């Protein structure tokens, strides 16, 4: 049974940055990369809002560089996925999908969150070619173009409003005959001349030769006046929520109603001594690579402090 000082679960910007900071503080760390090495960022193409890259950087190159930097400082990489945890007392036990168990003096949970998709085959087909789940990340590519946002809650309205500052036209595709968003967000959408809300409308497919060129929509699906039509667009944004990868930690750490891990204000502390959370698994608001990286650094700094205090 392997015993490590710091076990980092997740390999996005939060996980890799945590490993870099931990290793530089002489805290031996192991990164369990899980199913998606590099995290959600690897599903995008060019990253233009990460500091230090004035011409942008390929998302996979950025994450490969973070990974290599962590390895260069001595972090060990484990390709396995954590499937079970026991966080009642240190050393903490984490069972991996190959059947092995790791004992850790400290744990950094950086397992991220997954954007919810409609489940259309075309979403996968056009991912990175017109399909996105992050307007802040990819909106710049659609300046003066036509886009659609799917969703009716606060997130969808925020995404639509943001995209309207860049795009020529924004369609908000809403399944219900009303918006679920807060009144202030509804008002913001309704008052924006660039946003057109398509109520009682379902997106059932996408089309295009070299990327998204349009969406297949159904108005009042299943009703007598059902109408199917195609809507020409350049980009298709999902804003129907995210699912944090926190299930295996719920017996031990506190989460909000949506499953995001709750941390002590301004810190990555979970309330369990030596267990910290960083990145999107604890961030329902920002979900940006640079924010995740910063939270990974904070978690590693707290790990160093925690271990030092235990030794003193």
Among residues 236, 294, 275, which one has the least CA distance to residue 6? Answer: 275
237/163 Cα distance (integer angstroms) = 10
Q: What Å distances lie between residue 51 and 66, 73, 198, CA to CA?
A: 14, 22, 37
Task: Give the CA count within 13 Å in the CB-facing half-sphere of 258.
Answer: 16
Told to judge if 283 belongs to the known catalytic residues of this protein, a careful annotator would answer: no
Catalytic residue (choose from 6, 137, 157, 280): 137
Hey, what are 236's tokens? 């298709």
Told to judge if 157 belongs to the known catalytic residues of this protein, a careful annotator would answer: no
Catalytic residue (choose from 138, 234, 280, 283): 138
Catalytic residue (choose from 6, 134, 157, 280): 134
Told to judge if 134 belongs to the known catalytic residues of this protein, a careful annotator would answer: yes
Q: Show which residues are catalytic.
A: 134, 137-138
């Amino acid at each position: 049974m392997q015993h490590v000082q710091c076990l980092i679960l997740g390999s996005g910007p939060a996980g890799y940055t945590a490993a870099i900071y931990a290793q530089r503080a002489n805290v031996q760390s192991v990164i369990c990369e899980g199913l998606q090495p590099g995290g959600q960022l690897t599903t995008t193409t060019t990253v233009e809002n990460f500091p230090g890259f004035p011409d942008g950087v390929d998302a996979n190159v950025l994450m490969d560089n973070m990974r290599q930097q962590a390895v260069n400082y001595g972090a060990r990489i484990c390709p396995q996925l954590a499937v079970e945890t026991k966080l009642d007392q240190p050393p903490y036990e984490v069972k991996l999908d190959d059947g092995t168990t790791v004992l850790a003096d400290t744990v950094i949970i950086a397992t991220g969150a997954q954007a919810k998709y409609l489940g259309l085959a075309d979403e996968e087909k056009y991912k990175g070619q017109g399909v996105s789940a992050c307007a802040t990340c990819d909106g710049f590519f659609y300046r003066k173009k036509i886009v659609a946002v799917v969703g009716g809650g606060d997130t969808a309205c925020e995404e639509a409003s943001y995209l309207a500052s860049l795009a020529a036209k924004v369609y908000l595709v809403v399944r219900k005959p009303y918006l679920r968003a807060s009144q202030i967000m509804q008002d913001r959408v309704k008052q924006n001349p660039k946003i057109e809300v398509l109520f009682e409308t379902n997106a059932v497919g996408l089309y295009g030769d070299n990327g998204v060129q349009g969406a297949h929509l159904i108005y009042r699906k299943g009703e007598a006046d059902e109408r199917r039509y195609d809507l020409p667009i350049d980009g298709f944004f999902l804003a129907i929520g995210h699912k944090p990868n926190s299930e295996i930690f719920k017996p031990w750490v506190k989460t909000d109603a949506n499953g995001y891990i709750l941390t002590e204000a301004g810190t990555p502390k979970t309330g369990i001594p030596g267990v910290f959370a960083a990145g999107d698994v604890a961030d329902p608001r920002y979900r940006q690579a640079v924010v995740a990286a910063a939270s990974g650094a904070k978690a590693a700094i707290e790990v160093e402090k925690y271990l030092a205090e235990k030794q003193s």
